Amino acid sequence: MSLLVVGSIALDDVETPKAKVEGALGGSNTFISIAASYFTKPIHMVGVVGEDFPKEHIDLFNKYDINLEGLQIIKGGKTFRWGGVYLENFIDRDTNYTDLNVFENFNPVIPESQKKSKVVLLGNIDPVLQLNVLEQIENPELVICDTMNLWINIRNQELKEVINKIDVLIINDSEAKMLADENNLIKAAKMILKTGPKYLIIKKGEHGAMLFHNEDIFSAPAFPIEELHDPTGAGDTFAGGFAGYLLKTGDITYENMKTAVVYGSVLASFSVEQFSTGGIEDLTEGKINERFEAFKKMAQF
């Protein structure tokens, strides 16, 4: 089954306590699409880059069979660029700059053949664009949406409109508390579920992830990482692995979503072990399943 992914494609300047990279491939769509490609084909990427976007990155997308029909390359434009510094704990970060560049006037156009997509993943971008995409899709079976604190702050109304239209919302714990304006995470989750989505996934970084559905709660551990290198894109990678597994199995029940949450966590655990997309390149089914079994062993009693 095909997956339609809308999100940013970026060049990142990232500094962590360990090292520094410049112009590294990033953006929510990048991480989501590569992660999902291990589970399902085709992946349709909808996004925008500038003429400066390196050919090697396009080659990388092609390597993972990512369909680029919906990728706009703006003549003379510059690719979205983000620069940030992770602090000692590898969680908190300071943004040095966010140069929207070609993203500033991005108008996502879903190719005709992709308008009937059954599963849509709205990566973390302006909720106004997420709404615009939803209007172009005919009758999707499952819409998964990621967002971030920025949009909770500056596009609150539009974000709530998006949330009301989707099936699965993926956010982190501080965002959930902010969105619900409630300090107790469990209460916050239940409040968010009442505003639209049937499923809510809360990512808690080194503390794992939780899936909420009606009165049910599933709690997945995180993989024990001793050498964290770059958390950029871990959440997007999680979403990609999660969606990819659902598509691979063609099963969108709560029971199967639990396993999908673990596969999302598996992919995210690879992602943080290297800079940029390094950690999720050249994975194999064997490597992925081996780590999945490690999660099982860690959680079973």
Q: Which parts of this chain interact with its own copies (CB under 8 A)?
A: 88-89, 183-187, 190, 204, 206-208, 216-222, 224-226, 228, 258-259, 261-262, 296-301
- Reported as type and span, the H/E element at residue 46 is strand 43-50
Contact present, 109 and 45 (Cβ < 8 Å): no
* Dihedral sign computed on CA atoms, order 147, 153, 154, 157: positive
Backbone angles phi, psi at 44, to 5 degrees: -100, 115
With respect to its own copies, which residue has the nearer C-beta, 44 or 177?
177
Token digits for 86?
């992770």
DSSP state letter for 69: T
With respect to its own copies, which residue has the nearer C-beta, 71 or 202?
202
With respect to its own copies, which residue has the nearer C-beta, 28 or 265?
265
Least Cβ distance, residue 103 to its own copies (angstroms): 35
Least Cβ distance, residue 116 to its own copies (angstroms): 31
Number of Cβ within a 10 Å radius of residue 179: 23
Least Cβ distance, residue 195 to its own copies (angstroms): 18
Least Cβ distance, residue 266 to its own copies (angstroms): 12
Q: Is 198 exposed, middle or buried (0-12, 13-18, 19+ CB in 10 A)?
A: middle
* Dihedral sign computed on CA atoms, order 230, 235, 240, 246: positive
With respect to its own copies, which residue has the nearer C-beta, 73 or 217?
217
With respect to its own copies, which residue has the nearer C-beta, 178 or 218?
218
Least Cβ distance, residue 31 to its own copies (angstroms): 23
Least Cβ distance, residue 94 to its own copies (angstroms): 18
Contact present, 77 and 102 (Cβ < 8 Å): yes
With respect to its own copies, which residue has the nearer C-beta, 78 or 204?
204
Give Cα separations from 158 to 147, 165, 174, 185 (angstroms): 12, 11, 20, 23
